[in-house]
Amino acid sequence: MKAVCIETGDTALLQEQKEYFIFPNGESHVYVSKFDNQGAHFGCYEKDFFQEIVEEDPVRPPEPPELNPDLEHGQVYKAFLVWTSKRGFWSLEGKHYYLKQHDKVSSQVWFYEDPECKKLRGIFQKHYFTDYEPIETIPQKEEQALVEESPPELLPEEDWEQMSLF
């Protein structure tokens, strides 16, 4: 949990009014860290030196209803991401992405940043997106036939002779 240092005591490591992560160590002490990792603490201090910060989770809209539109396999769609289930993905919301139907799970789609579907961002449920629009797929450049050449022989095999060491 996060806390603000309200008293430094006799230590030079703590700074008043600075936020730290604290982890309980008994009833009257806490481990103090600059990171959200107890293993990275830089000392154990009295609990009274800190005031806990109460963080409220932002109000999230409810999950959209599970409407799973029928999408063609291989077709690329442009859609607007309106909701995600995990906090780490909230920054992706509110943007258009390019989608392809997942091969095995009919309720999921692969989503990409580019219409060529080269920059994969992940897999989400279909109902997290709205405004599905099929887009014209850009024709791929014809692949050039590879010409395989055998490497030149450096020495003919008949010139090789087993060397005897003894």
pLDDT tens per residue, range 10-63:
888 999 999 999 999 999 999 999 999 999 999 999 999 999 988 776 677 788
Mean pLDDT of the chain: 86
Residues 6+ apart with CB under 8 A from 42: 13, 32, 33, 34
> Given this model, what pLDDT does residue 63 score?
83
Stronger pLDDT, 151 or 21, i.e. the higher one? 21
pLDDT for 161 equals 67
Distance CA 77, CA 69 (A): 12
Q: Does pTM surpass 0.85?
A: no
Which comes out higher in pLDDT, residue 66 or 113?
113
Q: How far apart are CA 138 and CA 148, in angstroms?
A: 29
Q: Residue 29, Cβ neighbours under 10 Å: how many?
A: 16
Look at residue 161 and give its three-state secondary structure: coil
The rounded distance, in Å, linking the Cα atoms of 121 and 99 is 10
Judge contact between 83 and 61, C-beta under 8 A.
yes
> Average of pLDDT values for 110-138?
91
- The mean-pLDDT minimum among 51-55, 127-131, 136-140 falls in 136-140
DSSP string, 101-116: E-SS-TTEEEEESSTT
DSSP conformation class of 27: T
